[in-house]
Chains A and B, each alone.
Chain A
């Protein structure tokens, strides 16, 4: 199956700083990438959807100025958590799909963010 990587796998940062998480599709061109957040013992919650070269579409309640998403190429999307606070600590997971596949999203291994 298709492979999606994320970097870093875990990061600890201080409150008020910004953190960038990368999501790469390694063996296919990802026309659409998704960013999810997962709190302990809770389901994955979609934060935003991004298509290559377009602005991301954010879900209700997700602050677009806080969670900056860039999808500049068909293999790379980045999520930047700006001015991070302890309540932003979570497991962030990206997924990617290619054109024509309406159901199959390939997930990355996730990034554990801890804000101190």
Chain B
């Protein structure tokens, strides 16, 4: 079993839709939870991070962490074609050793 599971997609939505991206994990030692966006042939860009359980909002993005269920989510409101990318979840137990999901490819059509 992988430490971090993420549906690879692709997830196709129309412009303006609310997007929900999710990851599950098995290692209860993870304390830091991050979402990265990666465009084709580029390095990942940090979007959101959350420490422990809870919600965090930044503009159109909301990150949620439920440690009791070992489940994290990223919501994107009013999705735009420019949001089309691969979204990677990543987790860290505090030693800067990030464990990534495989990434979910998101396609937002105009």
Contacts and interface: CB of A to CB of B under 8 A. Distances in A.
A67 interface: no
B63 interface: no
B94 A102 contact: yes
Nearest to B34: A103
A105 B96 contact: yes
Nearest to B51: A103
Nearest to B103: A43
A35 interface: no
Given A104-B49, A107-B44, A108-B43, A41 B96 contact: no
Interface in B73-110: 88, 92, 94, 96-103
Contacts of A42: 102
B41 A102 contact: no
A45 to B, nearest CB: 8
A44 B56 CA distance: 24
Contacts, number: 59
Contact of A49 (B88, B96, B99): B96
B: contact size bracket? 20 to 34
Most B CB contacts (10 A, CB to CB) among A49, A95, A105 go to A105
B45 interface: yes
B54 interface: no
Contact of A32 (B6, B8, B96): B96
Interface of A: 1, 4, 6, 32, 34, 41-46, 49, 91, 93, 95, 97, 102-110, 112
18 contacts: A1-B46, A6-B43, A32-B96, A34-B96, A41-B8, A42-B102, A43-B6, A43-B100, A44-B100, A93-B43, A102-B94, A103-B32, A103-B92, A103-B96, A105-B46, A107-B36, A107-B43, A107-B45
Interface of B: 4, 6, 8, 32, 34, 36, 41-46, 49, 51, 88, 92, 94, 96-103
Given A1-B46, A105-B96, 16 more contacts: A43-B4, A44-B100, A45-B100, A46-B97, A46-B99, A49-B96, A93-B44, A102-B92, A102-B96, A107-B36, A107-B44, A107-B45, A107-B46, A110-B41, A110-B43, A112-B41
